[in-house]
A and B are shown apart, each in its own frame.
Chain A
Amino acid sequence: MISPVFLSLKLALVTSALLFVLGMPLAWWLASTRFRFRFLVEAVVALPIVLPPTVLGFYLLLVLGSRGALGAMWQRFTGHTFAFSFEGLVLGSVIYSLPFAVQPFTSALASVDRRLLAASASLGAAPWRTFWRITFPLALPGIVTGIALSFAHTLGEFGVVLMLGGNIPGRTQTASIAIYDNVQMLEYTAAAHQSLVLLGISLALLIGIHALNRKRNWRMQ
Chain B
Amino acid sequence: MSGDLRVEIETALAHFCLKCHFDARPEVVVLFGASGAGKSSVLECIAGFRTPERGEIALGERILFSSAQGVDIPAHRRRVGYLSQQSALFPHLSVRENVEYGLLDQPRAERELRVEAILERFKIASLARRRPAAISGGEQQRVALARTLVCESEVLLLDEPLSALDEALKSLLLETIFDWQRERAVPMLYVTHEQSEAYLLSRRVLVLEAGKVIADGAPREVFNTPVRREQASLAGYENIFDAVLEALHPEMGTMTCRLGGSGLLMEAPVANRLAGEAVCLAMRAGDILVATERPSGISARNIVPGRVEVIEDRAGMVELRVLCGAGAATAFVVHITRGAREALDLHHGKSVWLIIKTHSIQFLRG
- Which positions in A face B, CB cutoff 8 Å? 113, 115-116, 118-127, 129-130, 133-134, 137-138, 219-221
Contacts and interface: CB of A to CB of B under 8 A. Distances in A.
Given A115-B84, A220-B131, A127 B76 contact: yes
A220 B86 contact: no
B90 interface: yes
Contacts of B105: 124
- Main SS of the interface on chain A? helix
B232 to A, nearest CB: 34
15 contacts: A115-B88, A116-B90, A118-B47, A118-B88, A120-B101, A121-B74, A122-B48, A122-B81, A123-B102, A123-B148, A124-B76, A127-B76, A138-B91, A220-B131, A220-B133
Interface string B92-104: 1000000001101
Nearest to B79: A124
B151 A123 contact: yes
A96 to B, nearest CB: 33
B75 interface: yes
A129 B82 CA distance: 18
B80 interface: yes
B78 to A, nearest CB: 8
Contacts of A116: 88, 90
A220 B92 contact: yes
Given A137-B92, A220-B92, A122 B47 contact: yes
Contacts of A126: 76
A8 B115 CA distance: 51
B101 A125 contact: yes
Given A115-B86, A220-B131, A123 B92 contact: no
Contacts of B134: 221
B49 interface: yes
Contact of B75 (A113, A118, A129): A118
A124 B79 CA distance: 7
A108 B74 CA distance: 25
Contacts of A113: 88
A130 B88 CA distance: 14
B335 interface: no
Nearest to A113: B88
Given A220-B131, A220-B133, A122 B92 contact: no
